[in-house]
Structure 1
């Protein structure tokens, strides 16, 4: 294990440090003079603050177009979200009083976004920070026994209902009403899947627990086992796990060979990520650009209204 003293935090860019006007045009001037790919590979996450971005206006689209080469739809996403613009979504619509643990977006899937862009339309009255953590630091801080146990990977299972049931429907997950479109998507993923008699869809996929960053080569913790396991998903999910057999849960996870993951391992992984995380406290108009492989993110509990939008790119 390594010293868990914090050794990383996101870069913060404001008009003063960038040497540009404090308006959206100033941010555009700064970004056009940058190699954003190189900047993000080096810093892992960047906060842009003080540029007067309106999350639901043309100024946001201008910034997003410069930061995200190709906005992706949230297809095969497992979090509840609402689409509010051109592949722009609300951040996870999870009850305010609960914390969302550290994760890399869609790391359970065969394909995940390389970049994630958050924008604050309305900060919470209290709390509501977005914590971020260096994935290499997180991996290095895990107990060697846990790292070794996960070395062969993990197996994710989803049960997506047909419009009524626990969790998400397959229609909402894949943003379509057509089974053929879902099948065409899944055929290229390496997952095993089947339509069931009640109209639901079961998907099983095995994936690695760590990956190498495509630019830096650093090995990072990269899976969502703790968010798919009853030990890491809160009281409500734990109660559901007591009511239903594991194979019927909306989502579940085991080791790659199908054997169960000990709850203590899940707790250790989750607590380590949250302990190492650095909070990004939101102000209206802030942008947070995250390298989705190099860094994981979460959400702190909050009170009052909070509106943070998210877009993703390959």
Structure 2
């Protein structure tokens, strides 16, 4: 009988964490299997599992959370990406690894696909658990294919036609400073706008605004399936809850809210629109409790993620790989950037079929 090496694909068992739920669970069948080496030797198999289910959770391997960056790089086929164009606070932990979003522990982070408001975004997203919270703190997942199928046809049609407009207002003492978020100073704003297909405007001496229109629906380049890929709800002002949103509006006014979304034509999303999207996510969302050393890899197009409130100390690390941009995928609508009358238009790959 052939002796199995530690890197043989049969050394790792793939099975559902829960029936028909995200993610698929990968566990070693013997002690001491090095996750980094195993994934490097079996990256194609992992990518296949990710395409099938959207996410893979590695549990019980010898390296634990330290395997995050090399695992993400092996699956993505390139080095870890820097966190750029950030919309949430994070801390750099070194070598392409970051803290998870540093929001107050009593808040929920809504379901979203990473960085899809930007011109470029990662196709592979990784999380690792260095320390689980005392209670809560799950990283819920939802299949973006199924979310799209659940949405009302009229809402999808409007968003396929117009996309999502992402608005960000930078003012002193509110949210992330624009120099940190955009990664440049005043002299680099024009280059940033050209590179990212974003409109940048000085509204006042202490007020910088950016606007970008991105597609709402994407065809996965490997599976050919259409997926819901936007942050219409998680980027919207209402994501912080009605009470906090009302308080914030009272403090800064509607023209200075740190971030929000509209339909790509500039019209406001209705409560019914936002409610329908949230209901679709709720129907598809599954969650698991983190264990020390867990490493989760996610296909950013196929699976959305979020964060549950928690108590105690929680340390979840994040890394990203496989950079893509809107020219790399077929989209609905088939344009990314601002409408032609705004002066920035980009034709993306393929027309709607």
Both proteins in one fold, TM over 0.5? yes
Equivalent in the alignment of 1:51:
61
| Correspondences of 1:282-293 after superposition (within 5 Å) | 282-293=290-301
Q: Could you tell me whether the CA contact under 8 Å between 1:230 and 1:237 is conserved in 2?
A: yes
CA distance in 1, matches of 2:189, 2:25: 40
Q: Secondary structure at the match of 2:313?
A: coil
Q: Could you tell me whether the CA contact under 8 Å between 2:56 and 2:297 is conserved in 1?
A: yes
1:201 and 2:214 matched = no
Question: How far did 1:23 drift?
Answer: 3.3
TM-score using structure 2 length: 0.79
Equivalent in the alignment of 1:13:
26
Q: Could you tell me whether the CA contact under 8 Å between 1:26 and 1:51 is conserved in 2?
A: yes
Q: Give 5+ residue unaligned stretches, structure 2.
A: 1-18, 324-353
Q: Could you tell me whether the CA contact under 8 Å between 1:170 and 1:200 is conserved in 2?
A: no
CA distance in 2, matches of 1:26, 1:108: 32
Q: Secondary structure at the match of 1:311?
A: strand
Equivalent in the alignment of 2:4:
none
Q: 1:70 aligns with which of 72, 79, 101?
A: 79
**1:10-32 per-position Cα deviation (integer Å, ceiling 9, x unaligned):** 2110002xxxx433625522541
Equivalent in the alignment of 1:79:
88
TM-score using structure 1 length: 0.88
Equivalent in the alignment of 1:214:
221
1:191 and 2:204 matched = no
Q: Could you tell me whether the CA contact under 8 Å between 2:72 and 2:125 is conserved in 1?
A: no
Q: Give 5+ residue unaligned stretches, structure 1.
A: 1-5
Q: Could you tell me whether the CA contact under 8 Å between 1:8 and 1:134 is conserved in 2?
A: no
CA distance in 2, matches of 1:22, 1:274: 37
What CA RMSD, in Å, does the superposition of the two structures yield over aligned residues? Answer: 2.1
Change (3 A) 1:62 1:7: closer
Equivalent in the alignment of 1:22:
31
Q: 1:138 aligns with which of 105, 129, 147?
A: 147
**1:223-267 per-position Cα deviation (integer Å, ceiling 9, x unaligned):** 111122233332323421344443221112111111111022112
1:247 and 2:247 matched = no
Q: 1:101 aligns with which of 106, 110, 115?
A: 110
**1:271-292 per-position Cα deviation (integer Å, ceiling 9, x unaligned):** 3213311103200010000000
CA distance in 1, matches of 2:168, 2:31: 46
Question: How far did 1:8 drift?
Answer: 4.2
CA distance in 2, matches of 1:277, 1:191: 32
Between 1:116-125 and 1:239-248, the stretch displaced more is 239-248
**1:103-159 per-position Cα deviation (integer Å, ceiling 9, x unaligned):** 001111111111110000100111111111100101111122322332221111111
